[in-house]
Copies of this chain bind each other. A is one copy, B any other.
Amino acid sequence: MAALPDLETAGAVRRDLRAAPFLVAARGGTPSRVPVWFMRQAGRSLPEYRALRAGTGMIQACLDPELTCEITLQPVRRHGVDAAILFSDIVVPLYLSGIGVDIVAGVGPVVARPVRTAADVEALPTLHPEQVTPVTDAIRLLTRALGETPLIGFAGAPFTLASYLVEGGPSRNHEKTKALMRSAPAVWHALLAKLADSTSVFLRAQIAAGVDAVQLFDSWAGALTERDYRSFVAPHSAAVLGPLAAAGVPRIHFGVGTGELLGAMSEITDVIGVDWRVPLDEAVRRTGGTHPVQGNLDPAVLFADAASVESEVRRIAAEGRAAPGHVFNLGHGVLPETDPDVVTRVVDLVHTLPVR
């Protein structure tokens, strides 16, 4: 592994936000109000984002510190959420390491040369800390601009990165990925170890630059059985998340459709993100009652009438009180057609609700 930023000294640049509701809840304490942010809060649902992004490619936007900073700030300004999340994309560390990948509008990430053999894995570059500069520059701008609002670092988990690399792009069924996993386990584990290495470098650089928490997204993990997740995936996600404990920033782990995996995922993280299909009190039971939870309003509920939105928000906040800490969020990302005013009203409502 490349030389890593020292996690302990990174604390020197980090803001002292110990009373921030998001950080208190993520550490299992009792915050001054129920904190709320939304996955994909920065991005497609905001007209000011669409205006800013016009003419700029997705990866280009993620590597322009001023633009990344502004896009990350937009939902904080508009909605008054309790955390910002670094605007980025799952494939950014792959791109920065020199892998040929582009994000094609309407398709998603497209990989120039899919990775399917031992030689392909051997040839795969890994990320070096100095390659992360465009992202760490954005983080330094953000920690100055955000005032008292915490900033969450962002990375995709090794399995989800591997699916893009093996399939060559987005896949509904991940059949090539799952075939490689079973048919060539040595190649598979070598691939995931390399991706875990790059992901570690990416998140450590973000922590060293001053993020206050990190979220590891395993977008596609829900396609796996718990048995396969534990055998083929969890050790590599743990290799990313485990050593980050030394940094003292909350680690959040999330994947959609992971009801069967909540126990296994919770073993390697601090805060467990929960998809909307599993009520938060049930998620608390599945994770042993020891983990703060994050979630889990169905993003589609934001398209319903105001009374339905309110009753669902109240239900989720009530179920979240079963956890040692609850960070209100959606159960997946904000959908592109969402009315931003509805999102703002959810924030306002959550902030009126009792913490305990």
Chain A residues in the interface with B (C-beta under 8 A):
173-179, 181-183, 222, 224-225, 227, 257, 259-260, 276-279, 298-301, 303-305, 308, 335, 337
Which B residues lie within 8 Å of A304 (CB)?
178-179, 181-183
Question: Would B179 and A298 count as touching, CB distance under 8 A?
Answer: no
Q: How many Å lie between the Cα of A203 and that of B276 in the bound state?
A: 33
Partner of A298, one of B178, B183, B257, B259: B178
Q: How many Å lie between the Cα of A305 and that of B173 in the bound state?
A: 17
17 contacts between A and B (CB under 8 A): A173-B299, A173-B300, A173-B335, A175-B300, A175-B303, A175-B335, A178-B300, A179-B303, A181-B304, A182-B308, A183-B305, A183-B308, A222-B277, A224-B277, A225-B298, A257-B257, A259-B259
Which B residues lie within 8 Å of A303 (CB)?
175-176, 178-179
Q: A276-B225, A335-B173 are in contact. Are A182 and B301 (CB under 8 A)?
A: yes
Copies of this chain, whole number: 2
Which B residues lie within 8 Å of A277 (CB)?
222, 224-225, 257, 260
Question: Would B259 and A225 count as touching, CB distance under 8 A?
Answer: no
CB of A301 to closest CB in B, whole Å: 7
Q: How many Å lie between the Cα of A298 and that of B177 in the bound state?
A: 13
Q: Which residue of B lies closest to A179 (CB)?
A: B303
Partner of A300, one of B174, B259, B279: B174
Question: Would B301 and A178 count as touching, CB distance under 8 A?
Answer: yes
Question: Would A175 and B276 count as touching, CB distance under 8 A?
Answer: no
Question: Would A175 and B337 count as touching, CB distance under 8 A?
Answer: yes
CB of A318 to closest CB in B, whole Å: 13
CB of A338 to closest CB in B, whole Å: 8
Q: How many Å lie between the Cα of A301 and that of B174 in the bound state?
A: 10
Q: How many Å lie between the Cα of A9 and that of B326 in the bound state?
A: 58
Which B residues lie within 8 Å of A276 (CB)?
225
CB of A263 to closest CB in B, whole Å: 12
Which B residues lie within 8 Å of A175 (CB)?
299-300, 303, 335, 337
